[in-house]
Amino acid sequence: MNNPKRYLITAALPYANGPVHIGHLAGCYLPADIYVRYLRAQKRDVKFIGGSDEHGVPITIRAMKEGITPQQVVDRYHSIIKESMLQMGISFDIYSRTSNKVHHDTASDFFKKLYDDGVFEEKETEQYFDEKSNTFLADRYIVGTCPVCNNDKAYGDQCEKCGSSLSPEQLINPKSALSDVPLVKKKTTHWYFPLQNYEAWLKEWIIEGHKEWKNNVYGQCKSWLDSGLQSRAMTRDSNWGIKVPLPNADGKVLYVWFDAPIGYISATKELTNQWADYWCKEDTKLVHFIGKDNIVFHCIIFPAMLKAHGNFILPDNVPANEFLNIEGEKVSTSRNWAVWVNEYIKDFEGCEDVLRYVLCANAPETKDNDFTWKDFQDRNNSELVSIFGNFVNRAWVLMHKLCGGKVPKLHEDVLDERDKALMKDIQQSALNTQHLIEEYKFRDALFEVIDLSRKGNKYMQEKEPWIVVKQLTTDPLAQKSIDNCLHLCLQLTANLSILINPFLPTIAKKMCGMMKVVDRMLDWENAGKIDLLKVGYSLRQPQLLFRKIEDEEITKQIEKLKNNLVKPIMSEQVSNEVENSKSEITFDDFAKIDLKIGTIVAAEKVEKADKLLKLQVDLGTEIRTIVSGIALHFSAEDIVGKQVTVVTNLAPRKMRGIESNGMILMAEDKLGKLYFVSPTTVIDNGSGVS
Ligand SMILES: [Zn+2]
C-alpha cells in the first residue's frame, strides 16, 4: 500500500501460560518493535497493539494441576510477560489481555454477528470425554499408542517419537493425560466456520493479490489453499473463555483461535476512541507480525472471519518469521530448553540492547536459525564493541584531545576524495536502511548500519589525525585536515544514532546524551544529513556504549541451559509451582522421623516401570533396598556413589514386587527438576539428620 494515512501494527498475543523466551522475541516482538520505532521516527500515525492470550485448554489444565484458578495462572504470567516486554524495550502503545471485559464484549459481538448472518454451520459430533475430570479433551491431552511406531506415549495430535501427525481416533487405547482413565465418547454440539466458502476469495486475495508476501508465508498459504479448506469448529466445551453468546450454550466457549485475533481489535478499542479509523478505513495499513506457527490463523482463518463480518480492513502484510533454535536444538518449553527473557535481563543487566542486536542479526527471517551463546559473545565483542562502539569512542576521544571538546569546522576548500566518499556513504546508508526496513528486511538493515560504522573506522584509519597532529608546525593544512576528519566523524556518529535507534533504542539515547542533543534529533528526516551537530558546539566526555562479554559469563549460561534441562515426563510436564502448605506439627511429630545419611552403592532400572529405580543404599550399619520414583530424572549409572538423605523408619512398601525399605529425600524446583538432598561434604554413612 502506497502512502497509507495510518498504520496499525500488531504482534502475536503471547500465551499466558509461561514466560517469554528469546525465540518469541526474535519471532515477532523485536521485528514489530523495530518497524514501529522506525515509523514513529518517520512521524507516521502508528498504533502498536499487543496483549496476552489468556484463554484455551492449556491454561485450564495448568490451573487444575497447580490447584489454582485459571485466572490466577493468567494473572501471574500476564504480569511476567508484560514486564519482560517493557524491559526489552518492546514499545507497545497498549499491552492488553483477552480476559478484559472489552475483549469479551467485542469477541462476543463478533461471533453474534456472524451467527445472525447465518455464517456458521451447527453440527453435533462425538468427542472424547474424560469422566474423571469431567472435561472434553483437546487432542494434546489424549495419549495412547502410536499406530505407526508403537510408541505408547503418543499424543492425540502427534507422535513425538516418529513425528507422525495423528488424530485421537488413530491412537490405540486412547487415555486421558489428566487422569489416566480410559476415555468415553460423548455427543456435543458446536458451531463451525465454513472456510471452504472463502477458498476462492482467499486464493484471489493472497495467491493473486499478495505475491509480495515473504516466501515462507506465501508458500504456506498456497499449500493450505491448494489442499482445500474445511469447516472448523469455532467453539469448545469448557468453562474458561468467552461464553458462546447463544441460548442453550452452557459450558461452551469460543475457540481460543477465534477470540485471540479479535483481541487486536479489543485492545485498539481500549487504547483510543478513534479505534474505528484504524480498523475500518481502507487507508490504514494493517501489518501482523507473527511466528510461523501462526501463519494459517493470521493469513487464512482471521482474514476469512474479517471478510465474513464485513466491517473491517484486511492485513496488508503478515511478515512471519521462522523459528529460532537454541544451541542447535529446537526450543522446548516443557523440557526447559530455552533462554527465558526475564532471566536474561537478570543475568545481563544493562545489556538489553545487546540481546536485541544479536536476535536481529540472527533473526530467522527466511529460515530457522540458531542462537548460540558463543555467537552472542562474538557478535557483542567483535561487532558492537570492536566496530560500532570503537568508532564512536575513538571519534569522541580524538575530538576531546585534538579539537578541545568542540565540533570543529568543516573546511570545504580542502575536502579530499576520502572525505567526499564518506559523506556519500552516510547518505547512501540512510537510504538503504530505510528501504530495507520498509521491506521488512531488518537483518540486512541492521548490517547496513554496522557497515557504516565499519566505514567510519576505515576512514579514520586512513586519515590518521593522530599522526597529522605531529605535522602542525610544518604543514599549514594539517589543522584543517584534522578538523575535517573529526567533523565528519562526529556527523557520522549523529547519523549512526538515528539509524541504530529502531534497533538499539537505549544505545541511541546514550549517544544523544554524549552529543547533548534532544531525542528529536533522532527523527528519520535527519538521516543522511551531515550538518546535524553545529560547529563550535561542545560535547560531553565519551561513555562506553558496550562492554566486553567474558568467557566465564558464556560458560555459565551454557551450563545453566544444560542443568535446567528437564527430561519429559508424561502427564507431569507442568510442574507444581505453588507450594502445598501442610498443617503445623509438634517437635515430637518431627522427632518420630528417623533421617540418616547414606550412599547409593548400586542402582538399576525396575523392569516395566518407567519411573522407578531400585537402589542399594549403604547406611553404615546395613545396606537397604529402596525403590525410588526418580528414573525419569536420573540414570542409574550416574547416581552410584551419591550421598543422600534417607527416611529409615518408613513402613516397608512393595512396589512392582520389590520391597522398599525407606525413602530418599528429594528437592523439586519450580520446573519439576529433582535434586538430592545431600550433605555439603562427604560424611560417614549412618550419620543422623535432625
Ligand atoms: Zn510414532
Phi, psi of 518 (to 5 degrees): -85, 160
* Pairwise CA distance, residues 606 & 658, whole Å: 9
Q: What is the mean pLDDT of residues 614-636?
A: 88
pLDDT tens across 7-27, in order?
999 999 999 988 999 999 999
The answer to whether the CB of 548 falls within 8 A of the CB of 348 is no
With 50 as the cut, is the pLDDT of residue 578 above it? no
Burial (CB count within 10 angstroms: exposed 0-12, middle 13-18, buried 19+), residue 225: middle
CA–centroid distance, residue 624 to ligand 1 (Å) = 39
Average pLDDT of the chain, as a whole number: 92
Give the separation between CA 382 and CA 457, rounded to whole angstroms. 13
Quick one: average pLDDT of 288-314? Answer: 96
Could you tell me the distance, in angstroms and rounded to a whole number, from the CA of residue 170 to the centre of ligand 1?
Answer: 11
pLDDT exceeds cutoff 70 at 309: yes
Is 70 exceeded by the pLDDT of residue 358? yes
C-alpha cell of residue 25 = 522475541
Q: DSSP for 568-613, please give it.
A: --TT--SPP-S--PPPP--HHHHHTS-EEEEEEEEEEEPTT-TT-E
Nearest C-alpha neighbor of 360 from the set 324, 331, 391: 324
**What order of strands is seen across the sheet that includes strand 121-130?**
135-136, 121-130, 184-194, 231-233
**Residue 664 CA neighbour count, 13 Å, CB half:** 31
User: Is residue 488's pLDDT more than 50?
Assistant: yes
Type and span of the H or E element at 262: helix 256-271
The CA 64 to ligand 1 mean position distance, Å, reads: 28
Q: What percent of the chain has pLDDT over 90?
A: 73
Residue 232 has pLDDT above 50, yes or no: yes
Residue 365 grid coordinates: 527471517
pLDDT of residue 670: 64
Q: Cβ contacts of residue 583 below 8 Å, gap of 6+?
A: none
pLDDT surpasses 50 at 625: yes
Say yes or no to pLDDT of 103 above 90.
Answer: yes
Per the CB < 8 A criterion, the answer to whether 490 and 393 are in contact is no
pLDDT score of 1 more than 90:
no
Average pLDDT over residues 369-381: 97
Once rounded to an integer, what is the mean pLDDT over residues 187-202?
96
Confidence bin at 634 (pLDDT 50/70/90):
confident
User: Above pLDDT 70, what percent of the chain?
Assistant: 97
Phi, psi angles (nearest 5°) of residue 369: -130, 170
Distance from Cα 66 to the centre of ligand 1, integer Å = 30
How many angstroms separate the alpha carbon of residue 583 from the centre of ligand 1?
Answer: 45
| The pLDDT of residue 316 | 98
Predicted pLDDT at 204: 98
Task: Give 515's pLDDT tier (boundaries 50, 70, 90).
Answer: very high
**Closest to 650 (Cα-Cα) out of 678, 632, 624:** 624
Least confident of 433-437, 487-491, 501-505, 604-608: 604-608
Tell me the average pLDDT across 416-445: 98
Per the structure block, which three cell numbers stand in for 249?
450454550
- Ligand 1 mean position, distance from CA 592 (Å): 49
Distance 334 CA to ligand 1 centre (A): 19
Residue 382: pLDDT over 50: yes
Give CA–CA dist 649/470, Å, rounded: 87
What does the chain come to in residues? 690
CA 632 to ligand 1 centroid distance, Å: 20
* Amino acid letter for position 363: A
SS3 of 151, please? Answer: coil
483, 408 contact by CB (below 8 A): yes
Measure the CA–CA gap between 638 and 546, rounded to whole angstroms: 42
Q: What is the structure's pLDDT at 61?
A: 81
- Which cell is 57 given? 485448554
Distance 235 CA to ligand 1 centre (A): 29
Phi-psi region of 408 (alpha: psi -120 to 50; beta: other; left: phi over 0): beta
- Rounded to 5 degrees, φ, ψ at 321 are -95, 160
Q: Is the pLDDT of residue 492 over 90?
A: yes
Cell numbers for 164: 507422525
Confidence band for 581, pLDDT divided at 50, 70 and 90: very low
Distance between CA atoms of 60 and 178, rounded to whole angstroms? 11
- Asked whether 331 and 24 are in contact (CB, 8 A), the reply is no
Centre of ligand 1 from the C-alpha of residue 152, in Å: 8
More confident call, 390 vs 1: 390
Q: In whole angstroms, what is the distance from residue 377 CA to residue 354 CA?
A: 10
Per-residue pLDDT, 610: 76
Rg (CA), the chain: 31
Confidence of residue 671 (pLDDT cuts 50, 70, 90): low
Average pLDDT (424-452) is: 98
Residue 122 class from Cβ within 10 Å (0-12 exposed, 13-18 middle, 19+ buried)? Answer: exposed
Distance from the alpha carbon of residue 188 to the mean position of ligand 1, in angstroms: 29
- Please write down the long-range contacts of 414-418, taking CB distance under 8 Å and 24 or more positions apart: 414/477, 414/480, 414/481, 414/484, 415/484, 418/459, 418/462, 418/463
Residue 295 has pLDDT above 60, yes or no: yes
Sign of CA dihedral 26, 28, 34, 37: negative
Cβ-based neighbour number of residue 226 at 10 Å: 9
Collapsing DSSP to helix, strand or coil, 310 comes out as coil
Residue 576 has pLDDT above 70, yes or no: no
Query: What's the 656 CA to ligand 1 centre distance in angstroms?
Result: 27
Q: Around Cβ 585, how many Cβ atoms within 10 Å?
A: 11
Model pTM above 0.85: no
Q: Report how far apart, in Å, the C-alpha atoms of 664 and of each of 505, 576, 643, 682 are.
A: 52, 20, 10, 17
Confidence check: pLDDT of 533 > 90:
yes
Q: pLDDT tier at 181 (50, 70, 90 boundaries)?
A: confident
Compute the distance from residue 172 Cα to the ligand 1 centre, in Å.
11
For 440, the 3-state DSSP assignment is coil
Hey, what's the cell of 542?
565519551
Do residues 42 and 320 lie in contact, with contact meaning Cβ atoms separated by under 8 Å? no
> Rounded to the nearest whole angstrom, what is the distance from the C-alpha of residue 439 to the centroid of ligand 1?
41
pLDDT score for 572? 35
